[in-house]
Structure 1
């Protein structure tokens, strides 16, 4: 079984419900109880004007990375996300594989660890909440150091349930 860390985000419609739907979906894929961070409200990056709800979950699966990301993209499409969305566009749901055990993968369709996660407080803060001792599989840097190096942004941990 692999431990897969997934970033989940939404800033269109009922953001909390979109995250709850994603959590249910990811729980069904997981072979062990899903671990989930708190929900964070974060400022958008790019042209969007509405804040994001973001969280991180960890699932356990025997599914290989490529088929898993295809399932995630299908789930996103079923929830109204266009496969040809522009970068930083508003979205009903976004599922990104941050890490898959300690694998480092770079293909035309998949990069693990996620190529931008180390710059994103909206991934790093919930990641640290779940895994305070987590280290980047590519660089070995601990999440605490990555947090200190990330660009500042408005981010707030909530008490919302999902």
Structure 2
């Protein structure tokens, strides 16, 4: 079993319902309860016009990274996600940020996720559920990564999922 961190985001439709559905799905593929960070709200990066809900979930899994990615993308589609422009609006976004301490960089999958170090909306929720994690490529602790990340408007909500 590997520990995996999945970033969750949504800015279209019923964002909270998308998060609840994602939680149920992730528990079903993990086989154990998932650990969920708080829901944070942030302004979009890129062309999206509406604020995002963002969070992170820690699961354990036996699925290989590419199999897990395929399952996540299939669930996004089932939840109503359609292909949009890069950083565009979406009903649900599920990204593998961490898979154990693996480093993968090929045509179909990059772990750790290539943009996570620049995104407070990933780092802050991740700190809540994985505060001692150290990036396996850079050797930098997540707390320092968050301190160095570009500033953006982001706020922890009191919404439970």
Same fold per superposition (TM over 0.5): yes
Equivalent residue runs for 1:2-151 within 5 Å? 2-82=2-82, 84-151=83-150
Q: CA deviation at 1:32?
A: 2.6
Unaligned runs of 5+ in 2: none
In the alignment, the residues of structure 2 paired with residue 158 and residue 101 of structure 1 have an alpha-carbon distance, to the nearest angstrom, of: 28
In the alignment, the residues of structure 2 paired with residue 130 and residue 4 of structure 1 have an alpha-carbon distance, to the nearest angstrom, of: 11
Q: CA deviation at 1:47?
A: 1.2
Secondary structure of the structure 1 residue equivalent to 2:8: strand
TM-score, length basis structure 2: 0.97
In the alignment, the residues of structure 1 paired with residue 46 and residue 152 of structure 2 have an alpha-carbon distance, to the nearest angstrom, of: 12
**Runs of 4+ in structure 1 displaced over 6 angstroms?**
none
Deviations 1:17-75 (A, max 9, x none): 10111011001111332111000001101111110000000100100000110011101
In the alignment, the residues of structure 1 paired with residue 30 and residue 136 of structure 2 have an alpha-carbon distance, to the nearest angstrom, of: 22
Aligned residue-pair number:
161
